[in-house]
Amino acid sequence: MTTALEAGYRHIDTAAAYANEREVGLALAKSGLPREEVFITTKLWNADQGYDSTLKAFDLSMQRLGLDYLDLYLIHWPMPARNLFVDTFRAFAYLRDQGRIRSIGVSNFEPDHLRILIDAVGIVPAVNQIELHPRLQQSELRQVHAQLGIATEAWSPLGQGSLLEHPVVTRVAEAHNRTPAQVLIRWHMQLGNIVIPKSVTPERIVSNFDVFTFELSEQDMASISSLGDGTRLGPDPRTFDFTG
């Protein structure tokens, strides 16, 4: 966190399930940065879905983060078999109306989940954070986002590291004198995705931020996009049902 904030990062993504909200809050407090300059996202865990339980879980997250307000709150997974995400989002809307959250959204929602949610609550999520990388490009879902006005945010944007040594990616990286990770992040940016790369290595954290001074050509973009094969590295949101 400290390395990232010093490098210029101003968007930090965490979740109750990551068990590091307290550390995120401590690092932010120690940074000396004005609160309004840093965008903090956290997520409600699956076991806490439901109206009243969401309100309680939010209070606990805020205590751990040590914040007066949250920039973005996300439902971590739809958990469709439990059928609680509508009541959960109603609690999100209440918290937003109370001024405790600036924006509310979802994570890992498929088009049918989004439509059910919007029809029931009448609120369009600001963001849908989804697994998205060159192998799983989520074209249909991104098109739905564009139609509804939902921002697309990519988790696992580097394919959990599986693409860093792919010859197509390394060839583009060498042509630009950049790292494979920088090229992949830039690919996302030029598609219009919000990108949240994960790293625990200070050098890579700094390097991953240095993506604003070069641009991929149309051919570069097409080459990387040609890697799409539909491979999902994480759980399938349509069947994932885990509260542990």
Per annotation, catalytic residue among 18, 51, 69, 94 = 18
Assigned CATH for 1-158: 3.20.20.100
Instruction: Convert the pLDDT of each residue in 73-98 to its tens digit.
Output: 999 999 999 999 999 999 999 999 99
Question: Residue 18 catalytic?
Answer: yes
Q: With contact defined as beta carbons under 8 Å apart, do 74 and 41 qualify?
A: yes
Q: What DSSP designation does 150 have?
A: P
Show me where the domains of the chain are located: 1-158
Query: In the predicted model, what is the mean pLDDT of residues 128-144?
Result: 98
Bridge partners of residue 13, in order along the sequence: 41
Rounded CA-CA distance 47/160 in Å is: 25
User: Does residue 108 come out as left (phi exceeding 0), alpha (psi in the -120 to 50 range) or beta?
Assistant: left
Instruction: Convert the pLDDT of each residue in 168-190 to its tens digit.
Output: 999 999 999 999 999 999 999 99
Minimal CA–CA distance to 73: which of 85, 89, 97? Answer: 89
The least confident of 32-36, 38-42, 101-105, 197-201 is 197-201
Retrieve residue 230's tokens.
């539909």
User: What confidence tier does 51 reach under pLDDT thresholds 50, 70, 90?
Assistant: very high
Instruction: Convert the pLDDT of each residue in 107-128 to its tens digit.
Output: 999 999 999 999 999 999 999 9
Residue count of the chain: 244
Instruction: Convert the pLDDT of each residue in 10-20 to its tens digit.
Output: 999 999 999 99
Rounded CA-CA distance 22/65 in Å is: 5
